[in-house]
Structure formats: structure tokens, C-alpha cells
Amino acid sequence: MPRAFASGQIAFGLVSIPVKLFSATEASEKISFNMIHRDCGSRIQQQLFCPKDERTIDRTETAKGYEFAKGQYVLFNEEELKAIEEKATQTIEISEFVPKEAIDPIYFQKANYMAPDKGGERAYALLSKALEQTGRWALAKYAARGKQYLVILRPLGKGIVMQQLFYPNEIRSMDELDLGEPIVKDNELKMAVQLAEMGATDEFHPEAYRDEVAERTRALIQRKIEGEEITSLEDEQPRAQVIDLMEALKASLAGSPRGRSSSSGGSSKSSGGGKTVSIKSGEKRKAPKAVASKPAGRASKAR
């Protein structure tokens, strides 16, 4: 059974719901490499070095400081750091209920499961059902570990998820990007919509996906452990083909299973299913025919 990392209570009007918090995710094993002394094979140790005194110092000689001007710091001791930290409230205070469509997923940060603590089962279930039926999420504030978090409480199955949100100042504006001012043609949009509908599904099945890059990396590391030499496969990857936007859409539609079955006569030999394509919109020259190729995601075996 998972272990709760915190407990608290939801302030829901005059109702107080005791809850326990559980991590909803677990980080995948990170593949990392260490710095090794090539001559003897020992792992290199990092030391604290003071460039002014030109010597290695002990951790007991350090203090935390805040840079208020270039190269100028104000130092804080442990007591002062504790005074600065936000006090944990243990209360998840709901401020308002908003339509779930009103919060863009770009604000989503970490997710935690919530479970009722002793005596809170009925009120917990009531809040979960209320959120489900209204189609709204509860926006709340929660203070812990020296920081105040903006969170939403959203229903999931029979339970509730507490989703931490980024604050607005932590989200970069898309106005910083140069998106250009392209003209979208009606026939191109119609074909793009048709292509999207062909690949549409009403359900999300995350179990169908896996981290293929991590699997490939582990396999190569294992081969290295067994004494094999690892060679680069970069030059063997299919190169992107620059073709006209309309031709790319036609080839993609013709290459899809539904597109082949619905095409009249089935005489088209074009296939956009596995080819990596760079699109150059509005190009007037005649585009080369798309040819079937091996999927770009699969690398050839190393020689």
C-alpha cells in the first residue's frame, strides 16, 4: 500500500474534509553517466573551491546568500531562512469553482492523489461527485515546504486529484514567438481535417506507448558492457524530403489505411505513412512522388 507523504484538510465552505496526499506519479529510472578518471577508472569527486582564496573549502565554511546586485550578496543563517519560509498550513482552502475547460493544461504541474482520512469518507465522496456533476474544478491554495501552491481539485474515477498549477508569471507568452502570418487555403484545411479525423479516437490508451529511446539506450549500454563497440546510426536515418504542402496531404491521405480503402480504384502508389516530411507551403515546382519507406522511428541494426 502506498505511503502518504502529507495530511491536511480541505476547507469546503463550512465543511472540513480530512485528507491524505499520495504521489500520483513516479519518475522513470534516469539513465545517467558519471565523470570517470580515464587512467585509473575511478569516479571523480566534486569539491567546493573558493576562487578568491584559491583553495578547497569544507561545507561547514559555507552559507546561503542572495545576490541583490552584481557580485554582492547578503548572507542568511538557518534561523533567518526558517523565518523567511512560508509556514505549512495543512489546509487546502478552496476559493472558487471554475469550469474545467477554463484552465489550459499548460498550467498543469505535478499531480497528487487525495484520499479521505479517518472520518472524512462521506464528505470526500460528496465533493468528488459534486465536481463530477457540475463539470467544475475547485481552485484552491495550499502552503507546504516553504512555498504557497496554487492547485485545483479535480475528480478522477471515484477519487480526487490535487493538481499543482504554475503561476501566470511562470508561463512564457506565445507572443514571444514569431508564428508568421500564413494564409490557410480552404482545400488544404479540408484535407488536413480529413486526415485528423482518420486518425481520431475517442479513448486514450497510454499503455500502448513506451519510451523507445530509453529502451534503445539501455540495449546499447548492455552491448557495451558485453564488450561490443557502439557505432553511430545517425547517417543511416532517413532524410527529410521537402515537398509541396498539398502533395504531402494527398500522400498522407493515400497512405493511411482508411484513405486506401476509400480511394476510387486504389491506383495511388503514394505513401506518406512512414516518410519524414518537411513542408514548404506555396512551392510552385512539381513535387516528387512520395515513396514508401521504412518508418523513421526504427533504426537499422548497428554493424
Q: What percent of the chain stands above pLDDT 70?
A: 79
| Residue-level pLDDT at 303 | 37
Query: Helices 245-255 and 186-198 sit at what angle, rounded to 10 degrees?
Result: 30
pLDDT average, residue stretch 178-207: 87
Residue 194 has pLDDT above 70, yes or no: yes
Residue 151, C-alpha cell as written in the block: 492547485
Average pLDDT value over all residues in the chain: 80
Three-state SS for 6?
strand
- Between 280 and 92, the more confident residue is 92
Residue 91, C-alpha cell as written in the block: 489546509
CB 279 within 8 A of CB 243: yes
Q: What is the pTM (predicted TM-score) of this model?
A: 0.64
Residue 103: Cβ within 10 Å count: 16
Per residue in 198-231, pLDDT (tens digit) is 888 888 888 888 888 888 888 888 888 888 888 7
φ, ψ at 209 (rounded to 5°): -115, 150
Fold of 6-26+85-170: Ku70; Chain: A; Domain 2 (2.40.290)
- Between 124 and 282, the more confident residue is 124
In the chain, which ranges are E strands? Answer: 6-12, 15-23, 48-50, 55-57, 64-69, 72-76, 91-99, 108-116, 136-144, 147-156, 159-165, 241-244, 277-280
Per residue in 233-274, pLDDT (tens digit) is 554 555 555 457 778 778 888 876 665 555 444 443 334 444
pLDDT band at 95 (very low <50, low <70, confident <90, very high): very high
Residues in the chain: 303
- DSSP state at residue 106: G
Residue 174 has pLDDT above 50, yes or no: yes
All CATH 2.40.290.10 domain ranges in the chain, comma separated: 6-26+85-170
Cell 558492457 sits on residue: 225
| Residue-level pLDDT at 258 | 60
- DSSP state at residue 100: G
| Residue-level pLDDT at 104 | 94
